[in-house]
Amino acid sequence: MLKLRQLQKEKQRQAAQAQAPAQGRSAASPAQLRVEKDLATLELPTTVTLDTKCLGSENKVYLRISPEEGVYRGGHFRFSVVFRDTYPIEPPTVKCLNTIYHPNIDYSGNICLNVLREDWSPVMDLQTVVLGLLFLFLEPNGSDPLNRQAADTMLRDPYRFETNVQATMMGGHLDGQVFDNVRH
Residue 23 clears pLDDT 50, i.e. is over it = no
More confidently predicted of 64 and 13: 64
Residue 70 clears pLDDT 70, i.e. is over it = yes
Catalytic residue among 65, 96, 111, 112: 112
**All domains in the chain, ordered by first residue:** 29-178 (3.10.110.10)
Positive or negative torsion for Cα 18, 21, 26, 30: negative
Residue 3 clears pLDDT 70, i.e. is over it = no
Q: Does the annotation mark 54 as catalytic?
A: no
Residues 6 or more apart in contact with residue 115 via CB below 8 angstroms: 91, 124, 128, 129, 132
> Mean per-residue pLDDT for 58-67?
96
> Mean per-residue pLDDT for 27-50?
94
Q: What is the pLDDT of residue 19?
A: 47
How far out from the chain centre does Cα 175 lie? 29
Residue 18 clears pLDDT 50, i.e. is over it = no
Residue 91 vs residues 82, 141, 146: alpha-carbon distances, Å: 9, 20, 19
Q: Which residues pair with 172 in a beta bridge?
A: 179
Q: What is the pLDDT of residue 26?
A: 63
Q: What is the pLDDT of residue 10?
A: 57
Decide the pairing of beta strands 48-51 and 60-65.
Answer: antiparallel
> Mean per-residue pLDDT for 154-179?
97
Instruction: Please provide the average confidence, as pLDDT, over all residues in the chain.
Output: 89
Residue 20 clears pLDDT 50, i.e. is over it = no
> Mean per-residue pLDDT for 75-101?
98
Q: What is the pLDDT of residue 28?
A: 83
